[in-house]
Amino acid sequence: MAERRRKMAVSHKEQRGIFMNDANKGCRIKICGLSRIGDMEAVNRVRPDYIGFVFAQSRRQVGATWAASLKRALDPRIQAVGVFVNAPVSEAVRLAEVGTIQMIQLHGDEDEAYIRELKRQTAAPVIKAVRVRNGDDIFRAEQLSCEYLLLDTYTKGQYGGSGRVFDWNLIPPLQKPFFLAGGISMENVHEAQSCRPYCLDVSSAVETEGRKDPEKIRRMVEAVRQSGKQSGG
Ligand SMILES: O=C(O)c1ccccc1NCC(=O)[C@H](O)[C@H](O)COP(=O)(O)O
């Protein structure tokens, strides 16, 4: 077990080195809330950088066993992120340990103590989501010992996946790389990149009648890649 953890730590360090220092690579793209084998086939064709499995309560929720099957159908070059809301630390750790996910996204009220405990038990990089109401929310989150932030829209009674945009003017210059989420669509994808996110995170806008739509996924991934080429990335 200790050896396995050590190897994971090395591989995540290498991964962080590549992702954080590779300034030549343009903005990344994450497609979140995948739950069907057809979704895996759709992403394998266009290869976003990340996909997300939502383990929290949601119409997009997947269980551990089903997520493991989905992961087996996923192109290994795509990183799988597990999305959790106030889950026991052991749940996220276990999913990372068995290889269903490579990164952990905390989308609830998890605090520094929670993140520290997570980091004690796994080397998987941590993304802490901030549901933005004001600039202070973001400043506070930057003090946490996570590798990445994810800035999302605050919606009362809903932790994520609302399809709504927040005021991007609230984003201060940040030290940590951040994922930009919340209502990213074909209409605002270029403007979103001017906020200089490490990665764009999309869910609702690549769905049709509540299901992921392969053609919308293809167009979204293509749009992000095209912008990267135009900006020289
Ligand atoms: O997507 C969900 O249903 C969800 C539920 C509970 C917590 C987090 C959730 N999603 C997290 C994500 O990373 C979404 O991609 C992000 O909130 C953006 O979603 P959208 O505004 O629909 O593009």
Domains identified in the chain and CATH numbers: 28-224 (3.20.20.70)
DSSP code of residue 172? P
Pair 191, 15: CB distance under 8 Å: no
Query: Ligand 1: which of 128, 201, 208 to mutate, most ligand atoms within 8 Å of CB?
Result: 201
pLDDT confidence of residue 110 = 97
pLDDT confidence of residue 227 = 82
- Catalytic hit among 39, 49, 152, 201: 152
State which residues of the chain have pLDDT below 50.
1-23
For residue 31, the number of C-alpha atoms closer than 13 Å in the C-beta half-sphere is 30
User: What's the predicted TM-score (pTM) here?
Assistant: 0.90
pLDDT confidence of residue 64 = 98
CA 152 to chain centre: 11
Query: Ligand 1: which of 59, 126, 152, 198 to mutate, most ligand atoms within 8 Å of CB?
Result: 152
Contacts of 115 (CB under 8 A, 6+ apart): 106, 126, 128, 144, 145, 146
Residues with a CB atom less than 6 Å from ligand 1: 32-33, 52, 54, 56, 58, 60, 83, 85, 107, 152, 159-163, 181-184, 201-205
Please give the single-letter amino acid code of residue 45: R
